[in-house]
Every structure is written in C-alpha cells, then in structure tokens.
Structure 1
Amino acid sequence: MESERAVIVKVLFFAQSKELAGTREAIIQLPQRISYKELLNIITETYNLQSLKNNILLAKNEEVCEQSIDLEIKHEDIIAVIPPLSGG
C-alpha cells in the first residue's frame, strides 16, 4: 500500500488472535480512510486470522469500531484485534 496518503499504525492482538498471529503487536501501513470490512480483510489475511474473521471485533484507540462505517486512520493510531471472549 504505497501511497502518499498512507499512515503507519500499531495493531495489537489479544488472546486467540495473538496465538494465531504469532505476535502480540505489529506495525502496518494503511490508507487514511478505509472501510471496516477492508480493514478486517487486511488484518485477517495478513496475520492468519481467517478462522476468527466472523467473530472478532476491531477497536481503534480503545473504542470498538462500528462495522458499517468508514474509518479515519491517523498516523500512530492503535488498532486492537479482539477475539471472542470465553468464560463463565
């Protein structure tokens, strides 16, 4: 994604997503404006999370993202990958 409008963000992985991705965090380049679906596709394909794709939530700067909107991404934003929580 080589564009003058691209920004660098940190992606944090938790629980099962951390295990599947093989890392706790990563740095990626994204466009400044991206749909939730596009962001989800990039993250799940890049970090081997296809098995969780329909169940994970994405949060930007500690706020869960709405799946129906386009996201405005800024340099050094933090994207969290939140897998389904288990417990009882």
Structure 2
Amino acid sequence: MSQPSTRTIDLFFEETGLGIEDVAAKSGLPPERVEAIALGRWTPSPAEREKIAAAFGVDVARISWGHTMDPRNVRYRRYGLKEDF
C-alpha cells in the first residue's frame, strides 16, 4: 500500500479552500503566525505543526514544512542592490 504524498502548506490552503483566519481559528494560533508559516517566513515548532495539521484534518507527516523564503531577497531589501539599474 502506498503512503499518501506530502504537500506544501500552500497547497493545503488551495485544496481545502480554507483561509488564514479559518486555520488560525481552528488551530488556536494567531493569524499573523499562520500567515508567516503559509508564506514560508516562519518554520513552525512541532506543537504549531500539530495544530495546523489538525486544522486541515491531516497527519503532520503529510505537510512539507520547509522554510521557503529566499534569504537573498531579505538581504537585498535590507541593504539594496549595489548595481545601479
């Protein structure tokens, strides 16, 4: 028997039609935290992972929790590009 595939959290939002506020209410986490996790700006703790997975009605192992924000973008926004465009 094959194991269910893992998906990123943004796909769970898309597939279920739930919004940030919905998942925040179901998980008991602040909407700002759920948004940061959904956008890849925050890697959730094990307890946060359990709460969010439960809000989607799936096992924690079904969600890919990787940090997805590109650190280069943060650095460029903070200091600006050295090249003059």
Q: TM-score, normalised by structure 2?
A: 0.32
**Bigger Rg, which one:** 2
By percentage of residues, which structure has more strand?
1
By percentage of residues, which structure has more helix?
2
Q: Comparing both chains, which one has the higher relative contact order based on Cα–Cα distances under 8 Å and sequence gaps of 6 or more?
A: 1
